[in-house]
């Protein structure tokens, strides 16, 4: 009742908010939420409910687009989700009635040219009942205002038509027959927009999802005929063709609806509609009309051509003969003639110049639709078991010839569309029928000019469910001929010709996988003779192996699928010409040949190079799945015997360190046999125990070949995983002891596979009496966390967590049975040797490594403990966690950096994972130990300590951290606190300005996880620091601002906000987002702007006449500054070590300072990396002067600036000084010892250098 009361309160607000759109839209949203929660009874009987809904419905015709759209969305959402148990919404019928009334009124107004017949608006309401009448009166104010403020009748009609279309399935189907006359009446109006909206809605109503339920056969036929008669006249220009496209689309959908209600009538209508619509492809000047025409015609082909018409057309169609000069006649009327006329129309369009331009690709798509529709196979009366050919083989032979000729023309523009038609033809008719009409022409004696080699790659993806004998009869002899031609060309030293023939051979055998996909004659075609042929090809032709093994894989998988199919046999026979019984017979045929095929596969795999036989192993595994158990055991015995012999042969010594052996090019026999056994694992049921013992043998796990060890451990893991732990039942302890004993012989490459022992990784948990074997694995797992290989480290972490979970499941551990613990001591009580299995007990076992003798072991133990704390902190007692943290704090005071690094990581995990009550008591000891490493830059200690302090300040407050911090280091805490405060202020300011809406830093707030990291790695290595660690500038390479640290921090924060993905592109490179190489140009690093290359002449100065001036003594200040800025960090280091102020150390460690050695030292100080000037000036024929030659000074003539250009006297320039006859003191002041330019007073020059000026 509270919802009804609320609706009664909302109803009077609609007239009040009528003139204000924003609150009106909010009011609609509130009303929608309440109405959606009401029951059907409340919706039908309560007056406030009807009043509110009537108000919303009246706003669906509002003149304001946003208000109208919001009201229509609310009505659509309510009607599409009726309250249960109702199937349709109670308001659906009255909503449709209101829309129809408003639509009729708007259409009538549009016919009258916009003049209103009555000022009274039609209001929504139920068809009966006082409640509906009161609701109508209550909403009249809203609706009346909307009518007065409404736009033109045309606009209102278009809005209502769009509203009906958007309602979708919520529209009441019973109202559709009443809607059709209104829609048809709009087709005669002179309003193209309204007519187009009506045609669009008509197409929607004709669609498959609605027409079957809402329209009767008579309604569809009458509407379709009226629509065809109302064809737009004079549709010119873009707007006219858009209207015509809507009409064509409506006719196409109408034909589909007509075909569902009256197939024969639709076929008759198609014979007249198809020829009238097809010319639009040629006459259309815009793509939308051509596309609509193609879609409509394709719908007619797919839905309006009946199976009876196809069978009748096949019966009366004369045989096609391309070489015949006289065309055979066929009946022009009767069954089948309509389809043949349609095909002839498409064939004429293919060759007509009228369709040669933009219309031809659409005609080709119509031909493709014909092939796909005519896949029906007429039943034959003969008693033979041959599968009947599709109707397209006989009816579309001429079409196929025409398209083939087009494709052969090099100037043909639409080759891709033509190949699409041929692809459909091959899928429907099969390669045999296609090649009968379009032969390849590659045989001996064929005309080379008519060869169709381009058909081979086109056939490859399209062949399926055809006769395998066709490949044996046609392509096998053809490949033999081409192979002979390749050998002859190679013997004649015609390499290019031989390569062409080899390519054709490869393309022929690439067709075999398609022939092996559901072949219809497998039992007859895939016999011993054909298997022998395949074996010979596999042995002699390495390039064809991939195609043949893919064909064998396809053959066994499709046959197995068919044999186990549960579909009705009649359906499978109609679609594929095969039944499950045929599949079972074919599978028995393949089982009889499986041993031969597997033997050939084993031999071929052993002859391949390393890493090239994955496809062979896939095929081997699939064929092993069909082997009978007896043959499977026999195959395993044979492989096992060969493996034992190969393992007994010692490895050949290597020629030198890292030098390969002679057989490094091929896979060793032991590797090949182990790979074959790995492929056997999924089917190893009969021999799983023997298989496991073989992999556990000393010859495998103790082999000196690390690849053998890796494959052995992989076999153990997969056997235990795929056999559900049955292979290790009752022998868990034996397996673990064997693994522990072989730990000393594990090669580096096998460590990554080894850390997951099969008893723990798979199967049921170890029995309670076998848990004492787990501690034997702890040392290796702990040390594995410090391996350099990342995958090995991850595997070690997983093993530690896995053992912890096994221990958490309960049980008992017999400590006296743990290997390595003195169980032989006398006087020890059995009860004291038994401990309850738990995570706490496991942590105690791991903690024993803290007493190790090497820092490496202690560091690995601390790292393992941090992983366990992160995973199981919720189940570990608080006392244990506190004790562990206090112990790790002691290691923070160690001088060994490896141990300290792990301890810092442990502390960070504790701060993130553990509650404050556990960490807070340890702060007085933790903070000083941490801050002691805040000045250490190695191993990023300074950054890590700073981040931990930031977390502690956020968790416990700056005051508490500052109290336990040493006096001399409190400035660090104060600095962090101030920067955090500034960061929060700036975030708040950005949030107020709408620039940033980030959440405040909360301890448990979720942080984005870096891709590829686990949750533990994110805690250990991630950072959510608000304060920069001071090294961002160095990493980013951005220049520091001149304003100091404040500007630098601002730049860093700005760079952090602008982080993202960048596209690297050249200045003259066109950005193509569709390029396949585009992904290689996307990087997370900001691209740096390349320095512009200076031309050669820009390195030198020029005078006023354009001549270059070369200063030999020293470079300019700008050049020197540029060189100084370009000195790298390595150059600065060498300068510091080799310069005059540098020093070196002798063998005893004593410092020896460098001494200046005259010219040699000065020469070393010059830039050795600079290119001499003479090398850059060879092309300009400028030679460098000698250094020991005294530079000649240029004479400066006094008063030269007053000299006239052509006259002999002096001139006075504008705004300049008057000519003077004395030497200015500024020109001669400070000139000592010949420095500066020479002063010419007389104006004379030496003889031969010029005359007196």
- Predicted confidence at residue 802, as pLDDT, reads 86
- Predicted confidence at residue 459, as pLDDT, reads 93
Could you identify the residue written with the tokens 């050998």? 487
Mean pLDDT, to the nearest integer, of 8-25?
A: 85
1131 pLDDT band, cuts 50/70/90, is very low
Condensed to tens digits (0 to 9), the pLDDT of residues 780-834 reads 888 888 888 788 888 888 888 988 888 888 777 776 666 655 444 444 444 456 7
Is the confidence at residue 667, as pLDDT, over 70? yes
Residues 6 or more apart in contact with residue 325 via CB below 8 angstroms: none
Query: CA 259 to CA 742: how far, in whole Å?
Result: 76
Condensed to tens digits (0 to 9), the pLDDT of residues 528-556 reads 999 999 999 999 999 999 999 999 999 99
Condensed to tens digits (0 to 9), the pLDDT of residues 453-493 reads 899 999 999 999 999 999 999 999 999 999 999 999 989 88
Least confident of 151-160, 403-412, 1189-1198: 1189-1198
Residue with the larger pLDDT of the pair 938 and 1190? 938
Mean pLDDT, to the nearest integer, of 631-637?
A: 91
Give the H or E element holding residue 1006: none
Task: Find the Cα–Cα–Cα–Cα dihedral 215, 216, 217, 218, rounded to 10°.
Answer: -100
User: Is 256 in contact with 293 (CB distance < 8 Å)?
Assistant: no
Is the confidence at residue 709, as pLDDT, over 60? yes
Judged on CB neighbours under 10 Å (0-12, 13-18, 19+), 461 is middle
**835 by DSSP, 3-state: which?**
strand
What is the maximum span of the chain, computed from C-alpha positions, in angstroms? 131
Mean pLDDT, to the nearest integer, of 245-260?
A: 90
Q: Mean pLDDT over all residues of the chain?
A: 76
User: Is 371 in contact with 428 (CB distance < 8 Å)?
Assistant: yes
Residue with the larger pLDDT of the pair 15 and 116? 15
Going by C-alpha positions, the residue among 364, 484, 481 that lies closest to residue 412 is: 364
Condensed to tens digits (0 to 9), the pLDDT of residues 574-601 reads 888 899 999 999 999 999 999 999 999 9
Is the confidence at residue 853, as pLDDT, over 90? no
Condensed to tens digits (0 to 9), the pLDDT of residues 755-782 reads 555 555 444 555 656 677 778 888 888 8
C-alpha to C-alpha distances, 559 to 516, 524, 593, 595, nearest whole angstrom: 9, 14, 14, 17
727 pLDDT band, cuts 50/70/90, is confident
User: Is 1000 in contact with 984 (CB distance < 8 Å)?
Assistant: yes
- Predicted confidence at residue 583, as pLDDT, reads 92
Residue with the larger pLDDT of the pair 1033 and 318? 318
Is the confidence at residue 647, as pLDDT, over 80? yes
1080 pLDDT band, cuts 50/70/90, is very low
Is the confidence at residue 1050, as pLDDT, over 60? no
- Predicted confidence at residue 325, as pLDDT, reads 53
- Predicted confidence at residue 613, as pLDDT, reads 87
CATH number of the domain located at residue range(s) 877-990 in this protein:
1.25.10.10
Least confident of 133-137, 167-171, 483-487, 967-971: 133-137
Is the confidence at residue 958, as pLDDT, over 60? yes
Number of other residues whose CB lies within 10 A of the CB of residue 452: 16
Going by C-alpha positions, the residue among 681, 711, 546, 708 that lies closest to residue 613 is: 546
1101 pLDDT band, cuts 50/70/90, is low
- Predicted confidence at residue 221, as pLDDT, reads 86
Task: Find the Cα–Cα–Cα–Cα dihedral 108, 111, 112, 116, rounded to 10°.
Answer: 30
User: Is 245 in contact with 289 (CB distance < 8 Å)?
Assistant: yes
pTM (2 d.p.): 0.68
Task: Give φ, ψ of 720 to 5 degrees.
Answer: -70, -30
C-alpha to C-alpha distances, 972 to 957, 962, 1023, 1029, nearest whole angstrom: 14, 9, 18, 12
Mean pLDDT, to the nearest integer, of 660-669?
A: 66
User: Is 242 in contact with 200 (CB distance < 8 Å)?
Assistant: no
Mean pLDDT, to the nearest integer, of 677-690?
A: 87
- Predicted confidence at residue 1169, as pLDDT, reads 40
Half-sphere exposure of 1116 (CA within 13 A, CB side): 10
From the DSSP assignment, how many helices (H) and strands (E) are in the chain? 62, 10
Least confident of 355-369, 529-543, 944-958, 1026-1040: 1026-1040
Mean pLDDT, to the nearest integer, of 46-61?
A: 87
Strand runs (DSSP E) across 765-825, as ranges?
Answer: 812-814
Query: CA 107 to CA 32: how far, in whole Å?
Result: 30
Give the H or E element holding residue 1239: strand 1238-1240
Is the confidence at residue 1228, as pLDDT, over 80? no
């Amino acid at each position: 009742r509270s919802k009804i009361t609320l609706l009664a309160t909302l109803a009077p607000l609609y007239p009040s908010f009528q003139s204000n759109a924003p609150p009106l839209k909010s009011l609609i949203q509130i009303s929608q939420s309440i109405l959606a929660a009401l029951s059907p009874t409340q919706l039908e009987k309560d007056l406030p409910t009807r009043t509110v809904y009537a108000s919303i419905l009246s706003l669906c015709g509002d003149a304001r687009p946003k208000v109208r759209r919001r009201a229509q969305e609310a009505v659509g959402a309510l009607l599409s989700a009726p309250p249960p148990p109702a199937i349709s919404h109670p308001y659906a019928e009255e909503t449709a009635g209101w829309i129809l009334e408003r639509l009729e009124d708007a259409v009538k107004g549009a016919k009258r040219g916009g003049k209103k017949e009555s000022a009274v608006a039609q209001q929504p309401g139920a068809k009966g009942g006082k409640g509906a009448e009161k609701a109508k009166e209550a909403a009249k104010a809203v609706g009346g205002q909307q009518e007065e403020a409404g736009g033109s009748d045309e606009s209102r009609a278009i809005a209502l038509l769009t509203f009906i279309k958007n309602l979708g399935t919520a529209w009441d189907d019973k109202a559709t027959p009443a809607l059709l006359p209104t829609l048809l009446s709009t087709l005669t109006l002179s309003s193209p927009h309204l007519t187009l909206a009506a045609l669009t809605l008509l197409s929607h109503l004709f669609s498959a999802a609605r027409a079957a339920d809402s329209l009767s056969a008579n309604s569809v036929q009458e509407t379709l005929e009226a629509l065809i008669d109302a064809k737009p006249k004079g549709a010119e220009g873009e707007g006219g063709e858009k209207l015509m496209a809507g009409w064509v689309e409506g006719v196409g959908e109408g034909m589909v609806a007509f075909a569902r209600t009256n197939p024969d009538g639709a076929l008759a209508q198609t014979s007249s509609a198809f020829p009238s619509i097809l010319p639009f492809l040629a006459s259309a000047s815009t793509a939308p009309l051509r596309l609509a025409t193609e879609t409509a015609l394709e719908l007619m082909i797919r839905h309006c051509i009946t199976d009876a018409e196809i069978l009748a057309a096949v019966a009366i169609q004369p045989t096609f003969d391309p070489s015949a000069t006289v065309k055979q006649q066929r009946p022009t009327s009767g069954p089948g003639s309509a389809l043949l006329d349609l095909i002839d129309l498409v064939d004429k369009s293919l060759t007509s110049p009228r369709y040669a331009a933009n219309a031809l690709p659409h005609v080709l798509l119509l031909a493709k639709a014909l092939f796909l529709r005519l896949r029906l196979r007429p039943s034959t009366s003969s008693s033979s078991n041959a599968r009947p050919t599709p109707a397209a083989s006989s009816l579309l032979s001429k079409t196929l010839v025409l398209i083939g000729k087009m494709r052969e023309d090099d100037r043909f523009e639409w080759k891709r569309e033509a190949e699409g038609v041929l692809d459909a033809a091959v899928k429907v008719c099969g390669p045999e029928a296609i090649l009968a009409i379009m032969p390849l022409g590659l045989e001996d004696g064929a005309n080379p000019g008519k060869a169709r080699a381009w058909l081979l790659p086109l056939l490859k993806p399209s062949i399926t469910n055809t006769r395998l004998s066709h490949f044996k009869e046609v392509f096998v002899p053809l490949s033999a001929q081409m192979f002979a031609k390749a050998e002859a060309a190679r013997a004649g030293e015609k390499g290019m010709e031989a390569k062409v023939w080899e390519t054709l051979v490869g393309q022929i055998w690439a067709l075999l996988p398609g022939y092996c996909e559901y072949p219809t004659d497998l039992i007859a075609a895939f016999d011993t003779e054909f298997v022998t042929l395949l074996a010979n090809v596999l042995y002699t032709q390495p390039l064809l192996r991939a195609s043949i093994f893919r064909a064998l894989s396809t053959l066994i998988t499709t046959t197995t699928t068919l044999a186990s199919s549960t579909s009705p046999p009649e359906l499978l026979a109609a679609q594929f010409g095969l039944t499950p019984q045929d599949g079972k017979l074919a599978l028995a045929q393949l089982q009889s040949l499986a041993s031969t095929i597997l033997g050939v596969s084993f031999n071929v795999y052993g002859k391949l190079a390393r890493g090239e036989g994955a496809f062979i192993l896939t095929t081997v595994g699939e064929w092993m799945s069909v082997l009978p158990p007896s043959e499977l055991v026999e195959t395993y015995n044979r492989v096992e015997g060969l493996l034992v012999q190969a393992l007994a042969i010692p490895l050949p010594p290597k020629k030198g360190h890292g030098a390969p052996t002679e057989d490094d090019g091929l896979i060793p026999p032991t590797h090949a046999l182990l790979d074959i056994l790995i492929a056997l694992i999924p089917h190893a049921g009969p021999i799983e125990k023997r298989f496991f013992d073989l992999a556990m043998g000393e010859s495998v796990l103790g082999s000196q070949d690390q690849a053998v060890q890796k494959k052995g451990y992989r076999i153990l893991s997969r056997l235990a995983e795929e056999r559900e732990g049955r292979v290790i039942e009752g022998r868990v302890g034996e397996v673990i002891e064997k693994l522990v004993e072989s730990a000393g012989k594990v090669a580096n490459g096998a460590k990554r596979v080894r850390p997951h022992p099969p008893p723990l990784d798979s199967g049921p948990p170890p029995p309670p009496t076998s848990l004492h074997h787990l501690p034997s694995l702890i040392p290796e797992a702990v040390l594995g966390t410090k391996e350099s290989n990342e995958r090995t480290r991850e595997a070690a972490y997983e093993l530690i967590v896995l053992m912890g979970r096994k221990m958490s499941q309960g049980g008992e551990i017999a400590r006296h049975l743990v290997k390595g613990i003195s169980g032989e001591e006398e006087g020890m009580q059995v009860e004291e040797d038994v401990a309850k299995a738990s995570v706490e007990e496991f942590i105690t076992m791991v903690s024993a490594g803290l007493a190790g003798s090497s820092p490496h072991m202690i560091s690995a133990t601390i790292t393992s403990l941090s992983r366990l704390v992160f995973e199981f902190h919720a189940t570990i007692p608080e006392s244990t966690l506190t004790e562990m943290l206090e112990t790790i704090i002691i290691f923070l005071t160690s001088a060994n950096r490896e141990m300290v690094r792990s301890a810092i990581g442990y502390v960070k995990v504790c701060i993130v994972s553990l509650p404050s009550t556990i960490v807070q008591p340890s702060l007085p000891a933790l903070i000083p130990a941490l801050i002691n490493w805040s000045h250490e830059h190695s191993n990023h200690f300074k950054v890590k300590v700073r981040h931990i302090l930031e977390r502690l300040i956020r968790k416990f407050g700056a005051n508490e951290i500052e109290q336990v911090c040493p006096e001399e280091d409190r400035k660090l805490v104060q600095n962090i606190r101030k920067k955090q405060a500034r960061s929060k202020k700036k975030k708040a300011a950005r949030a107020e300005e709408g620039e940033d809406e980030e959440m405040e830093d909360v301890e448990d707030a979720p942080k984005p996880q870096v891709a590829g990291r686990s949750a533990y790695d994110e805690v250990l290595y991630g950072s959510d620091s608000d304060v920069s660690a001071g090294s961002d500038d160095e990493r980013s390479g951005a220049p520091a601002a001149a304003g100091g640290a404040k500007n630098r921090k601002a730049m860093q924060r700005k760079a952090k906000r602008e982080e993202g993905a960048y596209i690297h592109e050249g200045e003259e490179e066109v950005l193509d987002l569709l390029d396949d190489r585009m992904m290689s140009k996307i990087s997370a690093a900001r691209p740096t702007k390349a320095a512009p290359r200076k031309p050669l002449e820009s390195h030198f100065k020029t005078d006023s006449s354009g001549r270059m001036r070369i200063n030999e003594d020293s470079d300019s200040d700008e050049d020197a500054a540029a060189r100084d800025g370009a000195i790298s960090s390595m150059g600065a280091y060498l300068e510091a070590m080799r310069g005059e102020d540098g020093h070196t150390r002798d063998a005893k460690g004593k410092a020896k300072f460098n001494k200046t050695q005259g010219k040699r030292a000065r020469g070393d100080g010059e830039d050795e990396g600079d290119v001499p000037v003479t090398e850059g000036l060879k092309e300009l024929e400028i030679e460098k002067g000698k250094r020991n030659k005294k530079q000649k000074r240029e004479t400066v003539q006094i008063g030269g600036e007053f000299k006239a250009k052509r006259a002999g006297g002096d001139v006075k320039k504008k705004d300049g000084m008057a000519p003077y006859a004395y030497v200015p003191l500024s020109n001669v002041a400070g000139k000592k010892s010949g420095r500066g330019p020479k002063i010419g007073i007389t104006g004379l020059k030496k003889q031969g250098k010029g005359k007196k000026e």
